């Protein structure tokens, strides 16, 4: 079978690569062409466009790059038509993917969606288009299936692929990790400021402002695979901070606490059982637009899944040095940490067991048979 996969961002690349591995196991004749990243490329198939070419964050940034986005959409349609896949598989990245899905369905291509657009967070009206344009939807968050059911749309809950990604990884030895990266023996506080330049610019300086206030801890920046050290360097003004690129899971496995920009990383941090403070600050324009259309009580996946505040969220103006210091002190307190660990174990149960990628690949392949 011929598969055309559209994934964006680092998380889409991770989940796309695991789905591709499962598809290759299911279908020995699989021919895969995709938009993704380094992980998907290392799995096999043909990379068409890297997600770095369309990493736009927020409403204002998207508007500024509309011409480039429309060119990419046009190119994608032409490429799909030339490849003639048996199925087009969309992974998250709704702004781009739903536009392609509408066209692909009208052209007669089978359409599958893995990791639903966040219609449960804003603009639920998009469900109508999803019902029209998507033949099969595979969801990874437990509350999303009943959300769609309210609109008369059947979905498959396959579990969360992060369970597999984390449990299947090679365990890291704390001593060797510190030795390799020239870290001290102090407890580590991981700084995860996001993967896009706009995020890092907004988040990292405030995170780094705490370094001198916690001299008994080792602060380590987890560099995103999409950015080079040269970009981070402008924010680092002290020798007491270390930078480790593209080793987020290894870093979390040895961390004592973390300051995390809202996104998939909040869930990853929770699954590694690391106490965290969730942070978010966008451009003023993007934030005020989002505030008017997003209907959720929380922004972190941890709190959304648990439907209550498990981790503290510091959003926009509340994200400042004073508040961040106070919340970091709280998660370093032994009693608070005990409660967080209990909540994290409950969270993991809610996500289901292993095998999300394999289940999804089976459903996609069987749907073509």
User: In percent, how much of the chain has pLDDT > 90?
Assistant: 75
Residues forming beta bridges with residue 315, ordered by sequence position: 280
Banded model confidence at residue 92, pLDDT cuts 50, 70, 90:
confident
Q: From 361, 357, 367, 362, select the one nearest 14 (Cα to Cα).
A: 357
**Which secondary-structure segment (H or E) carries 18?**
helix 9-26
Model pLDDT, residue 53: 76
Q: State whether 62 and 106 are in the same domain.
A: yes
Residue 26 and residue 148 share a domain: yes
Model confidence at 295: pLDDT above 60: no
Average pLDDT on 315-330 reads 96
- The average pLDDT across 7-22 equals 91
Q: Find the length of the chain.
A: 369
Give 369's pLDDT tier (boundaries 50, 70, 90). Answer: confident
Do 135 and 184 share a domain, yes or no?
no
For the beta carbon of residue 57, count every other beta carbon within 10 angstroms.
18
Tell me the C-alpha distance between 235 and 183, whole Å.
Answer: 19
Pair 185, 317 in one domain: yes
Tell me the chain's radius of gyration from C-alpha atoms.
21
Q: What percent of the chain has pLDDT over 70?
A: 93
- The CATH number for 180's domain is 3.40.50.2000
Q: Are residues 112 and 200 in the same domain?
A: no
| Section 296-320 average pLDDT | 92
Residue 111 and residue 238 in one domain = no
Q: What is the pLDDT of residue 8?
A: 86
Same domain, 174 and 260: yes
Residues 177 and 299 in one domain: yes
Same domain, 346 and 356: no
Q: What is the pLDDT of residues 52-71, one digit of tens each?
A: 876 555 555 556 667 777 88
Q: At what angle do helices 9-26 and 356-368 cross, to 10 degrees?
A: 60
What are 234-276's pLDDT values in tens digits? 999 888 899 999 999 999 999 999 999 988 899 999 999 999 9
**Tally of structural domains, the chain:** 2
pLDDT at 11: 82
pLDDT tens profile 26-54? 999 999 999 999 999 999 999 999 988 76
pLDDT confidence of residue 167 = 85
**Mean local confidence (pLDDT), 327-335:** 96
Identify whether residues 203 and 333 lie together within a single domain: yes
pTM value? 0.80
Tell which phi-psi region holds residue 124, choosing left (phi > 0), alpha (psi between -120 and 50) or beta: alpha
Q: Which domain holds residue 273?
A: 167-350
End-to-end CA distance of the chain: 10
Indicate whether 210 and 301 sit together in one domain: yes
d(CA 50, CA 8): 8
Strand pairing partners for 7?
91
State the pLDDT at residue 198. 86
User: Is the predicted pLDDT of residue 86 greater than 80, yes or no?
Assistant: yes
> What does the pLDDT look like over 130-145, one tens digit per residue?
999 999 999 999 999 9
Q: Do 285 and 241 belong together in one domain?
A: yes
Give 121's pLDDT tier (boundaries 50, 70, 90). confident
């Amino acid at each position: 079978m011929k598969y055309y996969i559209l994934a964006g961002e680092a998380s889409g690349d991770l989940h796309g690569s695991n789905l591709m591995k499962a598809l290759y196991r299911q279908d020995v004749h699989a021919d895969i062409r995709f938009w993704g990243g380094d992980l998907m490329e290392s799995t096999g198939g043909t990379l068409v466009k890297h997600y770095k070419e369309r990493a736009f964050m927020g409403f204002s940034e998207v508007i500024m790059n509309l011409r480039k986005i429309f060119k990419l959409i046009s190119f994608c349609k032409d490429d799909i038509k030339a490849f003639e896949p048996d199925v087009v598989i969309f992974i998250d990245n709704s702004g781009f993917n739903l536009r392609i899905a509408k066209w692909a369905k009208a052209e007669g291509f089978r359409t599958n969606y893995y990791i639903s657009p966040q219609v449960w967070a804003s603009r639920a009206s998009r469900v109508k288009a999803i019902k029209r344009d998507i033949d099969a939807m595979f969801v990874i968050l437990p509350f999303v299936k009943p959300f769609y059911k309210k609109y008369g749309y059947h979905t498959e809950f396959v579990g969360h692929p992060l369970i597999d990604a984390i449990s299947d990884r090679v365990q890291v030895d704390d001593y060797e990790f510190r030795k390799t990266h020239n870290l001290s023996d102090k407890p580590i506080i991981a700084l995860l400021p996001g993967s896009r330049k706009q995020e890092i610019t907004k988040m990292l300086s405030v995170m780094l402002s705490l370094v001198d206030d916690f001299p008994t801890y080792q602060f380590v920046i987890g560099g995103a695979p999409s950015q080079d050290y040269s970009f981070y360097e402008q924010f680092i003004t002290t020798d007491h901070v270390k930078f480790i690129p593209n080793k987020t899971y290894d870093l979390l496995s040895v961390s004592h606490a973390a300051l995390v920009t809202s996104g998939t990383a909040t869930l990853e941090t929770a699954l590694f059982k690391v106490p965290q403070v969730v942070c978010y600050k966008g451009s003023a324009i993007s934030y005020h637009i989002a505030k008017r259309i997003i209907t959720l009580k929380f922004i972190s996946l941890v709190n959304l899944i648990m439907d209550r505040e498990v981790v503290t969220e510091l959003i926009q103006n509340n994200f400042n040095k004073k508040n961040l210091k106070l919340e970091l002190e709280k998660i370093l307190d032994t009693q608070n940490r005990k409660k967080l660990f209990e909540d994290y174990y409950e969270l993991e149960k809610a996500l289901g067991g292993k095998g999300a990628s394999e289940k999804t690949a089976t459903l996609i392949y069987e749907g073509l048979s």
